[in-house]
Structure 1
């Protein structure tokens, strides 16, 4: 007799498929359960049986030698309709199974006992069952053991489901991170190109400017854009979205600034420690270097005089120190950085505050130095 379908068959099948167990490879944890069940119950056959649509599939088995059979001849399909432990002492005496081809023909099954595999929300998935070729009974210890094995199988299925879900979530998260990184790289690349275009336009306008003050303002704006563009170029080249190697960044920025410097600036010397800083910090440092270096370009050396600009960066136990200096004529007598109203110096002070740093200025003929310190020196 073919078993009736479960009263909520579609939901039951949905619950079964959520475990992702069907048609999976053999696993030692499940194989050991059927081996032990067969030994404890003294039966030649033991199976972890899952009732699928149109078939019964065996996650593990001993004594059968197959992984699935048609549902029409399934004894377990009857078992999942019963609560708890389902026992048929002699199949030939039970009208539901007397004409079953597995009873009347090979392998001539005469005894069946199955403990229900049931989900936490009450859906039966299959059984842990033992079978024999002769009529028999199980003692109380064997019955308890079979129930225990069914509970153990459900724990394994739950752990397997959780592990698969965690793996899927991890893969999805990794894919999202990769997608985000790709978008950010593309964004950095496009922004870098846009900034370089803006910088080129500003540089072109500066070369065409006839008014010296206009030219100076365009140069300063161009160098500010250059500093930001260099940050994004470094982000794009390294593939990082959070940290930048400050020594490489400073060297690249100063090499670009040198191209905008007047002929009397012979070099921009960089002495930067090999350290990583956050991209937002690097952006602030770059703008400070661009602003202070541009200031040296304009004011450090008298006409006919040549010299260099020096940039150094080193880390400390609690922060870092940035220093920009030149060997020019020095700042004007009475110059007070705190009282300065010049736009360039206002920009410098704004970025020093943004970086939560402090700036000191020392100046005399032959040496002017701006030192920005984050943390205790």
Structure 2
């Protein structure tokens, strides 16, 4: 047996012993590699060889076992057998791809019947091959969702629809909580939240806000909270959150829990003029700097101007009067010239 010839045909199938009885590695066809092990008997007769395949290769060659057995009986050596096996594998892969690409005619009739059962008004789009379908689904709360489905030859549209609807229903409480927040508070960001958005930044007062991040699986539990605003306003809110956290009741709505724990009423957007709630950075006059929002605020009650951390850092660095102690810079507010403190964090740089 010529190892050189075998190496040229199957360079990834290598001998595992000196006698040339065991070969292990991969066979390649149509740019795909399949794991294969060939074990020859002691007399090295190919007719009695044993093949061990990965499950992927077994699946592709299902129905071709008799052909492979016949080739083992008639091939003169392992090299010629591997060449014929590659030919069989090429044919099997082409037939597999053809079956996947061209479903049986009854597949389309079943698909049309499924659409009729769901209602044609739910169909938003379908491509020419009926392989990509866009459906409109309404959950029990009346929310409309658009989903895109990739269908295969064995797909059952009704089953997929029911699975998606079940998933949507599992998120009902999560969306109920967010809908109440969007309706009854002034959400600063995101401005047009998608259904997948778990974060809301809610206005509390002039230049004071809270960002909450909900867990979709437990939407009524205490979310992660981050306050933004002047220290003299934010610190009391943090203290109330820490001291009243034991009052949090998962059986009560999240918004009501926030009111009770923080001991506040959330204003609605109608309670403010947009000009009353300055959100842009007082230095670069923009709201977003890369992905950062203004998260530093002048602590003076008559100022309260917000700044990006990076902008304020650059500003304070230009002032001769500024001084730094470790990661804290002491300086003057660019707007009111009152003392301002900047605690540096890695997220700014």
TM superposition score normalised by structure 2: 0.25
- Max radius of gyration: which structure? 1
Q: Relative contact order, CA 8 A, sep 6+: which one is greater? A: 1
